Structure 1
Amino acid sequence: MKLDVNALRYLSKDDFRVLTAVEMGMRNHEIVPSELIDRIAGLKHGGTYKVLRNLLKNKLVHHEATKYDGFRLTYLGYDFLAIKTLVNRGVFASVGRQIGVGKESDIFEVATEDGTVLAMKLHRLGRTSFRAVKSKRDYLAHRRSFNWLYLSRLAALKEFAFMKALGEHGFPVPTAVDCNRHCVIMSLVQGYPLVQVKELQNPDDVFDTILGLVIRLAEHGLIHCDFNEFNIMIGDDEEVTMIDFPQMVSVSHRNAQMFFDRDIECIYKFFKKRFHLSSEKCEEQDGSEINDDENGRPSFLSVQKSDGSLDKELAASGFTRKEQVEMDKYIHENAEEESSDDDDSTSEQDSEDGDEATVKISSLKIADQDSAGAPDHTLRGRDSNQPETSSEEVVRGTQLSE
């Protein structure tokens, strides 16, 4: 559903009070009865029912009247609750254009009162292909419902915690600004997704940098689990930025070696196909002290946690153990199932449509006003059919604060 924040300016305090009541009721109800919403909201003279009609009209709630009569939040309603909270905190004042669409998220430009442009990532677990997850997952077999809003909140909380910790330890990641519900606010990365880059001036150096990040993460006790061309940003000077962290796991995870090897394989496969790196180069590990496996690639078993234990530090990032287990099951079992299909399909599509979807680094001139969308919270190149938007235009966008 398209995010239209214009309606947010016209919602009353009672509207948000009822929205919050529905959210609270969904903690233990899939569909929240009207009577319960009325009790939680505490509006006088039956005002709750009038407000519910208005929220239903604006598609902020969904009415279920088949087997069980009641209401539930839509993603748009959840968006409004998160945005309203962040605006009240003074995190940003206006929302600009959408700059990215992923399988699990939507990304928008937002601007602060002083005109600083940030990125807002709204997690959307449960849409597209993930609708079939419930029927395929044994750990959901005995559950009558699966709360996608709850999982999206966990994904946002986890991403914010990992992004903040990685930034504090010197990793090239966006700056984590704030988080509420399923919404993460971060700095806007000035760059292009690696998948859209057709040529690099120094592909060997970029390859070594990216491979070094995988090893360095493991030395800190973490594995990205989705370290591919879609989640790596390349800047004007070919600097590398990592993005997308909800699926990260500890090196002590039972499938850690498989995830590590898969990340390594994705990098080798992409650089060999796109930038024609020689087999000899792909087998070299210049400056690396990590012992290689029989194929000349970094070996998970030889990686030592020599630079701290970020995995243990992040275990106390706000998750309960139950939440962590549930989130890990969803993210990683889903990733295992789709990884092989995604690798094949995206590589083939990328090769066929290279001229349309890629840019040359040598010609990049990224200014503040040049940013567009890509899978998850990435930016798209100028050839992306998206109109350019200046920082001033973002600030003049939909103003949400008085």
Structure 2
Amino acid sequence: MRYLTSDDFRILQAIELGSRNHELVPTQMIHSIGGMKSPSGTNKAIGDLAKLKLISRLRNAKYDGFRLSYSGFDYLALKTLLNRNSVYSVGSTIGVGKESDIYSISDSKGKQKVLKIHRLGRTSFKTVKNNRDYLQKRQTSNWMYLSRLAAEKEYEFMEILYTNGFNVPQPFDCSRHCIAMEWIKGYPMKHMKSDYANYKKLYSELMNFIIQLANAGLIHCDFNEFNILIRDEPEKYKYDFVVIDFPQCVSIEHPDAKEYFDRDVQGIRDFFMKKFKYDPQHDATMFDTSGYGDGYKYAYPNFKRDVIREKNLDVEVKASGYAKKRTGNRNDKDLEKALLGMRIKADEDEDLSEIDDEEDEEDHEEEYDYEDEEDEFEEEKDLEEENEKIIEALSAKKPLKMDKLGNYILDE
């Protein structure tokens, strides 16, 4: 990456911008958007980027075109984080999730951090095929676009939760599909040993976290041993654990809120039963309701009984369920379709790549909003017109501003 020139990055950004409206970005458009002095300079940069597999070249009957690869998307995000001094070096992979990669990084001061790179669409879920069918209807939508939306949404969740005192990693920066966050010295709860001394206290605190989050208006939707980190030195902190992975969070106003809440609770119960043979039951003789488990009145939380809204964090971050009902924003709808698959629990042996045709058609009929089809067409026309104006402005060598994602924007 250090050997790429400024021209290389200009061309990479040009292909990223052109991808908003084209599956394959024509070479002439890349040259126009990139603002290079000569076509030969553009072609040289394209060749160098293609050798590094940051872009790929495809041919069809109409024209030669290029499209951005996930590696190219990574480079653009890292370059932005580098320019902001959020990242200085990238280390080894420390984890691979179902829809993300986790890397060790450090900033210019040598502080160790974590980089989470969202990669939606990499694995097979029950809704992925439907999502891909849906995305084919809108050329501006693709998995990189959805990965960026997921990263931005998770960064929002983490910022507001950290600010409100929840034990989550501190978020530092976000660019495209990447999030730089605090390094937590610890290990996933999945690797916890059965001789862990304070497991009853941990159980109660985890159940309290679910309630506190719900009282603030949010449900995690994937609260399990994979997304809970146990600190190496818990005595130095208020809690023994830190919770991660938030892009799939929903509002307590979501139609399936109770189902997601109960599943989070059951996931913790199942883990502690399997790991510690700990299966507390409600005890009416106890009066203490400040926690859950042995010694408390209730063994585990109940959505209707225990959730009492105290904050509106779901409103502030426009969480799924609330945002869909209140705003109907196109980005919210696109992201919701992609994240729906992340909330589906399936058996490990179940093949999610094949879906029954009849069931697939029924699901697709429900998910696709035909009333929005005309609006989507108009949106595509607007984007095409905007793209053409940007090309005209760049061809005329007019200075254009860039948004935080590195895309050119037109002044109103």
TM bucket normalised to smaller: 0.7 to 0.9
Report what 2:387 is aligned to.
none
Report what 1:302 is aligned to.
305
How many angstroms apart in 1 are the aligned matches of 2:95 and 2:137? 33
Report what 1:58 is aligned to.
52
1:213 aligned partner, one-letter code: F
The alpha-carbon deviation at position 137 of structure 1 amounts to 4.3
How many angstroms apart in 1 are the aligned matches of 2:61 and 2:250? 40
Distance 1:134 1:268, change over 3 A: closer
Secondary structure of 2:346's match? helix
Distance 1:336 1:187, change over 3 A: closer
For residues 274-285 of structure 1, what are the structure 2 equivalents within 5 Å?
274-280=275-281
The alpha-carbon deviation at position 342 of structure 1 amounts to 4.8
How many angstroms apart in 2 are the aligned matches of 1:48 and 1:138? 32
Report what 1:321 is aligned to.
329
How many angstroms apart in 2 are the aligned matches of 1:195 and 1:285? 32
For residues 62-81 of structure 1, what are the structure 2 equivalents within 5 Å?
62-66=56-60, 69-81=64-76
Report what 2:219 is aligned to.
223
How many angstroms apart in 1 are the aligned matches of 2:76 and 2:173? 15
1:129-161 Cα distance to aligned partner (Å, 9 max, x none): 25x744234972762665010011011101111
Report what 1:27 is aligned to.
20
How many angstroms apart in 2 are the aligned matches of 1:95 and 1:306? 41
Report what 1:251 is aligned to.
252
8 Å CA contact 2:261–2:303 kept in 1: the answer is: yes
How many angstroms apart in 2 are the aligned matches of 1:217 and 1:258? 15
TM-score, with normalisation over the residues of structure 2? 0.74
1:127 aligned partner, one-letter code: R
How many angstroms apart in 2 are the aligned matches of 1:336 and 1:248? 9
1:2-49 Cα distance to aligned partner (Å, 9 max, x none): xxxxxx100001100000000000111121111111110121221112
1:311-360 Cα distance to aligned partner (Å, 9 max, x none): 0111299998221122122212x1344x1325999xxxxxxxxxxxxxxx
For residues 143-292 of structure 1, what are the structure 2 equivalents within 5 Å?
143=137, 146-199=141-194, 200-238=196-234, 239-280=240-281, 287-288=289-290
Identity level (%): 43
How many angstroms apart in 2 are the aligned matches of 1:144 and 1:89? 33
Distance 1:36 1:326, change over 3 A: same
1:177 aligned partner, one-letter code: F
1:330 to 334, 338, 342: 338
Report what 2:368 is aligned to.
none
Q: Does 1:48 align with 2:70?
A: no
Distance 1:249 1:285, change over 3 A: farther
Runs of 4+ in 1 over 6 A off after TM superposition: 281-285, 316-320
8 Å CA contact 1:268–1:282 kept in 2: the answer is: no
Secondary structure of 2:9's match? helix
2:347 to 338, 341, 345: 341
Q: Does 1:36 align with 2:14?
A: no
After TM superposition, the structure 1 stretch with the greater mean CA deviation from structure 2, 311-320 or 213-222, is 311-320
Give the number of the structure with larger relative contact order, counting CA–CA contacts within 8 Å between residues 6 or more apart.
1
Report what 1:385 is aligned to.
none
Distance 1:91 1:142, change over 3 A: closer
Report what 2:396 is aligned to.
none
8 Å CA contact 1:124–1:152 kept in 2: the answer is: yes
Count of residue pairs the alignment pairs up = 331
How many angstroms apart in 2 are the aligned matches of 1:94 and 1:152? 22
TM-score, with normalisation over the residues of structure 1? 0.76
2:205 aligned partner, one-letter code: T
Secondary structure of 2:271's match? helix
How many angstroms apart in 1 are the aligned matches of 2:77 and 2:225? 30
How many angstroms apart in 2 are the aligned matches of 1:80 and 1:15? 11
Stretches of structure 1 that go unaligned for 5 or more consecutive residues are: 1-7, 346-402
Q: Max radius of gyration: which structure?
A: 2
Distance 1:330 1:89, change over 3 A: same
After TM superposition, the structure 1 stretch with the greater mean CA deviation from structure 2, 104-113 or 149-158, is 104-113
The alpha-carbon deviation at position 184 of structure 1 amounts to 0.2
How many angstroms apart in 1 are the aligned matches of 2:287 and 2:220? 20
How many angstroms apart in 2 are the aligned matches of 1:343 and 1:194? 23
1:193-222 Cα distance to aligned partner (Å, 9 max, x none): 001112211111111011110111100000
CA RMSD for the aligned pairs?
Answer: 2.9
2:100 to 75, 88, 105: 105
8 Å CA contact 2:152–2:177 kept in 1: the answer is: yes
Distance 1:28 1:177, change over 3 A: same
Report what 2:85 is aligned to.
90
